[in-house]
Amino acid sequence: MSSFIKLFFKITTTLFLFVYCINVFAEYGLNFPEPVTENARDIYDIHMNTVRIISALLVVVFSIVIYSIIFHRKSVGYKADQEFHKGVFGRWAWVLVPVLVLGVDLGIAGKAERVLENLWLIPKDENMMDVKVIGHQWWWEYEYIDHGVTVESRYIPKEPSDDLYLRDVDNRLVLPINTKVRFLHTSADVIHSFWVPQLGMKKDAIAGYITETWADINKEGIYRGQCAEICGAWHARMPIVIEAVDQEKFSDWVAQQKNIMLAKAEEASSDKEWSMDELMEKGRSVYNKHCSACHQLEGEGLNPVFPALKGSKIVNGPLDEHIKIVLEGKVSTGMPAWNNLLNELELAAVITYERNAWGNDTGDIIQPSDVKTSD
């Protein structure tokens, strides 16, 4: 019998070691990445609190079951205690166990409740900055409401062996540190979810809703996340990259963005007559950036979800229809309406490009003014 007791203790110590290991692992990369906001830190603490409690309970459950397996077996001659469930314990366990479980529950919930309030209620703060986050299939649009700046953020294709494969974007969401930022989430199409683990936030972006979260980043750096709600074919290609910088750098960045936007608007509103080459050049970059996720770089589409534009009847047919579908999109398919997302010059360029690239050979040149009239 004593050898069994030894075995029993061995098993329990192993289990305790195991739990201890979980805690150690927790510090070295098998756990959440480093939190960089107060909220993420609180979430981390709640997480560790619950992990510790359940690990302890798990050890208790495992120990009892293993003890029982070792000692209460027929092969060692143990006779079943047919009266066990009739004793005091048997009669009162139905009260005792729920009370104990309730106690543990309250311990877990009580601590969580305080953090929850902090996460959920957006603090009142004069210097709060608002960023509207709009989910699109399959990119993010960030509108800096207080600064009049809009940024489009798309995934950059890379090789799977690249460190930043599926985790890098062309334009980052630049945010100042030590500033309370309120995020307002919505969607232009299906549901997406904005998740950046190090900021301790995840919120769904739903068409027709505006949901809110907030963060106050306390450390400069680059923080990566991904869309967390399945949103169609390229759900895996919606990275989020936040660049947290100090206040000064942030102001510089805003000014720079404003200049870029101004230059773009100026170019678009000039009455210039654009040449085929210029439009093709511009059109290619607009196309590759905005349309290639669905229609593919060579216009071959992705059967059966996204039609090929190479050789398409609409693209090689009457101009009106082509312009119409690009401007207005098509409800309940993935094709977005582009009239509010691109300016006239970009629209004219991309339509020209589609009509003259990959062997499409209409020879049509579309000027910004052509697109304007059909708007």
- Considering only residues 276 to 315 of the shown chain, the ones binding ligand HEC according to CB under 6 A are 290-291, 293-295, 306-307, 309, 312-315
* Cβ proximity of 154 and 289 under 8 Å: yes
- Sheet architecture: strand order including 129-136: 149-153, 139-144, 129-136, 180-187, 211-216
Q: Which does 258 bind (CB under 5 to 8 A by kind): another protein, Cu ion, ligand HEC, none?
A: none
Site track for another protein across 243-282, x = CB under 8 A: ----------------------------------------
Cα–Cα distance measured from residue 131 to residue 151, given in angstroms and rounded to the nearest whole number: 11
* 34, 144, 369 from 118: Cα distances, Å: 20, 24, 52
C-alpha neighbours within 13 Å on the C-beta side of residue 280: 13
Are 310 and 355 in contact by the 8 Å Cβ rule? The answer is no
Answer yes or no whether residue 192 interacts with Cu ion by CB under 5 A: yes
Establish if 352 lies at the interface with ligand HEC (CB under 6 A): no
Alpha-carbon span 96 to 99, nearest angstrom: 5
Q: Judged by CB under 5 A, which of 133, 134, 177, 227 binds Cu ion? A: 227
Give, as one character, the DSSP assignment of residue 269: H
Q: Does the protein bind Cu ion through residue 231 (CB under 5 A)?
A: yes
Q: 88 touches which of Cu ion, ligand HEC, another protein, none (CB within 5 to 8 A by kind)? A: none
What does the block give as tokens for 375?
Answer: 């708007």
| Angle in degrees, 0-180, between the axes of helices 2-27 and 38-71, rounded to the nearest 10 | 170
235 touching another protein, by CB under 8 A: yes
Q: Is beta strand 211-216 parallel, antiparallel or unpaired with respect to 180-187?
A: antiparallel
**Cα separation, 222 vs 218, whole angstroms:** 12
Half-sphere exposure of 226 (CA within 13 A, CB side): 13
# of chain residues touching another protein (CB under 8 A): 97
Q: Is 226 in the site for another protein (CB under 8 A)?
A: yes
Positions in 86-105 near another protein (CB under 8 A) = 90, 93-94, 97-98, 101-102, 104-105
Rama region for 43: left / alpha / beta (φ>0; ψ in -120 to 50; rest): alpha
Residue with tokens 């949103």: 231
Stretch that binds Cu ion, among 235-243, 318-326, 336-344, 349-357 (CB under 5 A): 235-243
Q: 213: which strand partners?
A: 183
Q: Could you say whether residue 46 binds ligand HEC (CB under 6 A)?
A: no
State yes or no: residue 357 binds Cu ion (CB under 5 A): no
60, 66 contact by CB (below 8 A): no
Q: Please say which residue, 48 or 319, places its beta carbon nearer to another protein.
A: 48
Residue, CB closest to ligand HEC: 291
Q: Which does 315 bind (CB under 5 to 8 A by kind): ligand HEC, another protein, Cu ion, none?
A: ligand HEC
CA–CA separation, 2 vs 8, rounded Å? 10
Which of 151, 279, 350, 365 is in the footprint of ligand HEC by CB under 6 A?
350
Interacting partner of 160 out of Cu ion, another protein, ligand HEC, none (Cβ under 5 to 8 A depending on kind): another protein
Q: How far is the CB of 206 from another protein (least distance, A)?
A: 6
**Tokens at 217, concatenated:** 């980043």
Binding segment for another protein (CB under 8 A), chosen from 209-217, 241-249, 309-317, 318-326, is: 209-217
172 binds, among Cu ion, ligand HEC, another protein, none (CB under 5 to 8 A by kind): none
In the range 113-152, which residues lie near ligand HEC by CB under 6 A? 137
136 binds Cu ion (CB under 5 A): no
Compute the distance between CA of residue 366 and CA of residue 364 in angstroms, rounded to an integer.
6
Interface with Cu ion: number of residues (CB under 5 A): 4
Smallest gap, in angstroms, from Cβ of residue 340 to another protein?
A: 14
**Number of residues forming the site for ligand HEC (CB under 6 A):** 24
Which listed residue (145, 209, 264, 298) binds another protein by CB under 8 A? 209
335 three-state secondary structure? coil
- 72-89 in b/e form (b: 16+ CB < 10 A) is eeeeeeeeeeeeeeeeee
Residue 42 found at the interface with another protein (CB under 8 A): yes
Backbone angles phi, psi at 26, to 5 degrees: -55, -35
- Binding residues (CB under 6 A) for ligand HEC: these are 137, 290-291, 293-295, 306-307, 309, 312-315, 322, 325-326, 330, 333-336, 338, 350, 354
